[in-house]
Amino acid sequence: MIKGGFQGKVLRVNLTSGEIRVEDLKEEWAEKFIGGRGYGTKIMYDEVDPTIDPLSEKNKVIIATGPLGGTFAPSSGRTMVITKGPLTGTIACSNAGGYFGPALKQAGFDLVIIEGKAKEPVYLWIYKGITELRPATDLWGKLVDETDKLLREKTHPQAETMEIGPAGEKQSLLANVMFNGHRAAGRTGVGAVLGSKNFKGIAVRGNQEVKVAEPEEFREAVTKTREILSKDAFSGGGAAMLGTAMLVNVLNSIGAFPTKNSQDAYFPEAEKISGETLRERNLLRNEACSSCPIGCGRVTEIKEGKYKGAQGGGPEYESVWSLGAMCGISDLDAVLMANYLCDKYGMDTISAGVTVACAMELYEKGYLPKEDAPFPLTFGSGEAVVEAIKLMGEQKEKLGKLLAQGSYRLAEYYKHPELSMSAKKQEFPAYDPRGVKGIGLQFATSNRGACHVRGYTIAAEVLSGAVDRLKYEGKAELVKTFQDLTAALDSTGICLFTTFGLGGGDIALLLSTATGFQVGEKEFMQIGERIWNLERLFNLRAGFSRKDDTLPPRILKEPIKSGPSKGEIEELDKMLADYYKVRGWDNDGVPGEGKLKELELVVD
Amino acid sequence: MLVKVKAYAYLREVLGGEIKVELPEGAVLKDLLSSLYLPPAGVEALIDRASGEIKPTILILKNGRNVRFLEGLLTKLEDGDEVSIFPPLGGG
Ligand code: SF4
């Protein structure tokens, strides 16, 4: 029985009819799927036909917190956005940090389900349990940071906000959902789905406490986990010093730092865009999400040159790479500017950068004709990246419209889809699978297209160095473990970064004492496996199959040209069959009946 | 022989960003990490005094390969090798 953690209420907003209903949270689902990503996926699986067009009225968007959100559990500020993603056509879940999730809980709700389509732009105001759809015609067209500010002006100065920018409104497949103006639920094009519904955002404020089941035991679990995190050298200080951009030098030093649209995996000028350089040149201050002792976020400023004075959140490692090395750029100011612009338009920095990189290769190879390019799209030109991001965000000219659809559709249009560095049409993050074998298996099998945070094997393959990054053996199990752990974790409402210090058992303890569920490490991992399989079932029903669990030919066939991983390719076949076996799936990647029974997943 | 040592994040402050170290032929990683070649504070940051081993959270690469998968402290060094040293890492 739910005794705490959850507020027990779900808000269902039908934009077509304007009706807003409060429903009870289903206890049985909460026990089987927790909240957040798991519960949201269950709603999608039960209520949405997986074959629909993601940008049609029939798609739904679930904005979900987890039972630890709004408690004193460390790093518990996450909010998940679950939908059928338009970039990939798969089930999609993106999540962001900040303060929105806890505020939603304080307003009395665990989840919000957005369905239908509004006739005119609207936003949702949730205040102490009162909910209201309000016109947003005057907000339509506004940039993300402006929208954040205006939403607070229109509602309450201390409201927390969620919003889409012009990219989402124009249904760019790279559109994200932003929180508080600069925290992004970045991937899979979730922002476009809200745009297709004429839904600009949410402002929320509340003052209800989030009660936990066993206050004494919960407090002890919080003290214990916070202590672990503060002693751990990364979460206790390293993360705050350099932020995630610390990884630039690491990944480049091992030669797994994709460069110029993955034509290489070593960037000689990496130092110029590294976390160390960023700290010296641009850091204004650190920033932490709700209840987070780690504080990996940062606010930066461009101090000189033609973008002087521009400020913004980030950049994260992924963005420094996608808008930097992937485009051959060592001009950190241009990278920062492109990053700020992505946030303003509400676009995923990873996909945006990789799409520009793809355009650059198409251009340099002569596949993208000069007449389609308003300026030379040459690798290494910082100005080209900044200008391309503007075109993409505003969908100006033919190129802007094409870029806004992501690298796969762009490259397909110019008849060279093999130059899109993506899996299931979603762009790669900042790790070259040729130099880190397990992460390639993760990209290929990820349920939302290429992604690192569905199964961050980098932690074991590179950072702790627990396993050899260049070996194939054991990677199937490793990928499964990381995938299951993350699926469960994303359903609790705490941040993935806690796992650098905490194990599944620690998080299960927080969860149990908060909710009253009896969940040990084993059960926690099984919940993760259940969620992973449910996502897979959604995708299979949407038409995906084994053939989609693959990587671009460049990664499979073209050896890395230079650097410490020179000569490496990714032999995915050496791991994929193993992976299906470890998962209890058949040779086509379909979960067997035994597995589904074991996970208590009924199929129809 | 000449070996290049690159340190990152806060280790830069104790080891210096990039230094070149002259080592006798046949030297191994352990020789490089001794305070004869690196500042004592740097050695302190890298080596567990009780066991004499590299601290488990420190990542040391020789030409991009984690020395743990080479021969650890006994990894042989050659002229022109690049040794990269990282403090505890995370992120994503
Ligand atoms: S580790 Fe970083 S992203 Fe995670 S909750 Fe803390 S500040 Fe937010």
A405 shares a domain with A431: no
Report percent pLDDT > 70 for chain A: 99
Pairwise CA distance, residues A237 & A593, whole Å: 46
**Residue to test with chain A: of B4, B8, B75, B81, most A Cβ within 10 A:** B8
CATH number at residue A128: 3.60.9.10
Domain assignment present for A249: no
Pairwise CA distance, residues A515 & A511, whole Å: 6
The residue of chain B nearest to residue A319, with distances taken between CA atoms, is B92
pLDDT band at B49 (very low <50, low <70, confident <90, very high): confident
Residues of A in contact with B65 (CB under 8 A): 254, 564
Pairwise CA distance, residues A135 & A119, whole Å: 10
Helix (H, G, I), strand (E, B) or coil at A59: coil
Boundary (domain end) residue, out of A178, A205, A232: A205
Q: Whose CA is nearest to atom 3 of ligand 1?
A: A97
- Check pocket membership of A238 for ligand 1, CB cut-off 6 A: no
CB A393 within 8 A of CB A342: yes
pLDDT band at B88 (very low <50, low <70, confident <90, very high): confident
Pairwise CA distance, residues A499 & A344, whole Å: 30
- Check pocket membership of A295 for ligand 1, CB cut-off 6 A: yes
pLDDT at A447 over 60: yes
pLDDT at A147 over 90: yes
pLDDT at A590 over 90: yes
Asked if the Cβ–Cβ distance from B92 to A242 is below 8 Å, we say no
pLDDT at A251 over 70: yes
- Check pocket membership of A288 for ligand 1, CB cut-off 6 A: yes
Residue type at A194?
L
Rounded to the nearest whole angstrom, what is the distance from the C-alpha of residue A294 to the centroid of ligand 1?
6
Pairwise CA distance, residues A530 & A484, whole Å: 8
pLDDT digits (tens, 9 = 90+) for A479-516: 999 999 999 999 999 988 888 888 889 999 999 999 99
Residues of A in contact with B86 (CB under 8 A): 249-250, 253
CB A603 within 8 A of CB A597: no
Q: What is the ipTM of this complex?
A: 0.84
CA separation, residue A244 to residues A211, A298, A321 (Å) = 33, 10, 11
CATH class, domain B2-86, is alpha beta
Cα–Cα nearest to A128, from A82, A173, A159:
A159
Pairwise CA distance, residues A115 & A124, whole Å: 13
Structural domain harbouring A329: 264-412
- Check pocket membership of A294 for ligand 1, CB cut-off 6 A: yes
- A261-265, A340-344, A569-573, B16-20 — which is least confidently predicted? B16-20
Q: Which residues of A565-591 are buried (b: 16+ CB within 10 A; e: fewer)?
A: bbebebebeebbebbbebbbbeeebbb
Residue A206 at interface with chain B, using a CB cutoff of 8 Å: no
CA separation, residue A404 to residues A53, A173, A342, A557, B20 (Å) = 18, 6, 12, 28, 47
Pairwise CA distance, residues A535 & A529, whole Å: 10
Pairwise CA distance, residues A7 & A30, whole Å: 12
Rounded to the nearest whole angstrom, what is the distance from the C-alpha of residue A290 to the centroid of ligand 1?
8
Residues found in chain A: 604
* pLDDT score for B91: 55
Q: Residue A137, class by beta-carbon neighbours within 10 Å (0-12 exposed, 13-18 middle, 19+ buried)? A: exposed
From A65, A72, A75, give the residue whose CB has the most ligand 1 atoms within 8 Å, as the site to mutate.
Answer: A75
pLDDT digits (tens, 9 = 90+) for A279-305: 999 999 988 888 888 888 889 999 999
The number of distinct structural domains making up chain A is: 3
Ligand 1 atom with minimal separation from the A78 CA? 5
Residue A465 at interface with chain B, using a CB cutoff of 8 Å: yes
Q: Residue A301, class by beta-carbon neighbours within 10 Å (0-12 exposed, 13-18 middle, 19+ buried)? A: middle
pLDDT digits (tens, 9 = 90+) for A3-31: 999 999 999 999 999 999 999 999 999 99
Domain assignment present for A232: no
Domain assignment present for A146: yes
Ligand 1 atom with minimal separation from the A497 CA? 1
pLDDT digits (tens, 9 = 90+) for A106-140: 999 999 999 999 999 999 999 976 899 999 999 99
pLDDT at A465 over 60: yes
Residue type at A375?
F
Asked if the Cβ–Cβ distance from B91 to A497 is below 8 Å, we say yes
CB A160 within 8 A of CB A103: yes
Domain assignment present for A211: no
pLDDT digits (tens, 9 = 90+) for A351-383: 999 999 999 999 999 999 999 999 999 999 999
Ligand 1 atom with minimal separation from the A291 CA? 5
Rounded to the nearest whole angstrom, what is the distance from the C-alpha of residue A496 to the centroid of ligand 1?
8
Where helices occur in A425-572 by DSSP H, the ranges are 437-445, 458, 475-489, 504-515, 521-541, 553-557
Asked if the Cβ–Cβ distance from A247 to B89 is below 8 Å, we say yes
pLDDT at A444 over 70: yes
A272 shares a domain with A139: no
A579 shares a domain with A517: yes
Q: Chain B: nearest CA to A497, how far in angstroms? A: 7
Residue A71 CB contacts under 8 Å (≥ 6 apart), including other chains: A5, A210, A212, A218, A222, A291, A514
Pairwise CA distance, residues A167 & A348, whole Å: 10
Q: How far from the centroid of its chain's Cα atoms is residue A29's Cα?
A: 24
Q: Chain A: nearest CA to B91, how far in angstroms? A: 5
Cis check for the bond before B56: say yes or no (omega within 30 of 0): no
CA separation, residue A434 to residues A418, A569, B30 (Å) = 16, 5, 30
Residues of B in contact with A318 (CB under 8 A): 92
Boundary (domain end) residue, out of A384, A412, A440: A412
Rounded to the nearest whole angstrom, what is the distance from the C-alpha of residue B38 to the centroid of ligand 1?
35
Q: How far from the centroid of its chain's Cα atoms is residue A231's Cα?
A: 27
Pairwise CA distance, residues B40 & A65, whole Å: 49
Domain assignment present for A220: no
pLDDT digits (tens, 9 = 90+) for A546-575: 999 999 999 999 999 999 999 999 999 999
Pairwise CA distance, residues A437 & A470, whole Å: 6
CATH number at residue A325: 1.10.569.10
- Check pocket membership of A75 for ligand 1, CB cut-off 6 A: yes
Asked if the Cβ–Cβ distance from B91 to A452 is below 8 Å, we say no
Q: How far from the centroid of its chain's Cα atoms is residue A574's Cα?
A: 28
Of the partner residues A232, A276, A456, the one whose CB lies closest to the CB of residue B92: A456
- Check pocket membership of A313 for ligand 1, CB cut-off 6 A: no
Asked if the Cβ–Cβ distance from A247 to B10 is below 8 Å, we say no
CA separation, residue A192 to residues A37, A85, A188, A244 (Å) = 19, 9, 9, 27
A565 shares a domain with A537: yes
- Check pocket membership of A377 for ligand 1, CB cut-off 6 A: no
Pairwise CA distance, residues B62 & B85, whole Å: 9
Residue type at A346?
G
A583 shares a domain with A457: yes
Boundary (domain end) residue, out of A412, A445, A478: A412
A464 shares a domain with A405: no
A579 shares a domain with A442: yes
DSSP class of A117: -
Of the partner residues A238, A497, A564, the one whose CB lies closest to the CB of residue B88: A238
pLDDT at B92 over 60: no
Helix (H, G, I), strand (E, B) or coil at A82: strand
A366 shares a domain with A477: no
A181 shares a domain with A76: yes
Residues of B in contact with A232 (CB under 8 A): 88
- Determine phi and psi for A316, rounding to 5 degrees: -80, 165
Pairwise CA distance, residues A351 & A336, whole Å: 16
Q: Whose CA is nearest to atom 5 of ligand 1?
A: A75
CA-derived radius of gyration, chain A: 22
Would you list the DSSP string of A302-360?
--SGGGTT-EEE---HHHHHHTTGGGT---HHHHHHHHHHHHHHTB-HHHHHHHHHHHH
Q: Which of residues A6 and B53 earns the better pLDDT score?
A: A6
CATH number at residue A557: 1.10.599.10
Residues of B in contact with A246 (CB under 8 A): 8-9, 89, 91
Q: What is the mean pLDDT of residues B45-70?
A: 88
A582 shares a domain with A457: yes
Pairwise CA distance, residues A443 & A44, whole Å: 23
pLDDT at B90 over 80: no
Rounded to the nearest whole angstrom, what is the distance from the C-alpha of residue A497 to the centroid of ligand 1?
7
Taking the alpha carbons of A97, A103, A106, A112 in that order, is the dihedral positive or negative?
Answer: negative
**Residue to test with chain B: of A187, A229, A250, most B Cβ within 10 A:** A250
Residues of B in contact with A463 (CB under 8 A): 59, 89-91
pLDDT digits (tens, 9 = 90+) for A188-225: 899 999 999 999 999 999 999 999 999 999 999 999 99
Helix (H, G, I), strand (E, B) or coil at A259: strand
pLDDT at A33 over 60: yes
Mean pLDDT (chain A, rounded) = 94
From A232, A490, A497, A507, give the residue whose CB has the most ligand 1 atoms within 8 Å, as the site to mutate.
Answer: A497
pLDDT at A403 over 90: yes
Residue B49 CB contacts under 8 Å (≥ 6 apart), including other chains: none
Pairwise CA distance, residues B87 & A250, whole Å: 10
Asked if the Cβ–Cβ distance from B9 to A238 is below 8 Å, we say yes
Q: Which residue has the tokens 């066991």?
A: B51
- Check pocket membership of A289 for ligand 1, CB cut-off 6 A: yes
Asked if the Cβ–Cβ distance from A296 to B86 is below 8 Å, we say no
A399 shares a domain with A432: no
Would you list which residues of chain B are within 8 Å, Cβ to Cβ, of chain A?
Answer: 6, 8-10, 12, 57, 59, 61, 63-66, 68-69, 84, 86-92
Which positions 293-352 of A are in contact with B (Cβ < 8 Å)? 296, 317-318
Residue A238 at interface with chain B, using a CB cutoff of 8 Å: yes
Rounded to the nearest whole angstrom, what is the distance from the C-alpha of residue A495 to the centroid of ligand 1?
6
Cα–Cα nearest to A206, from A149, A256, A131:
A131
A442 shares a domain with A380: no
Other C-beta atoms within 10 Å of A561: how many? 13
Domain assignment present for A225: no
Domain assignment present for A514: yes
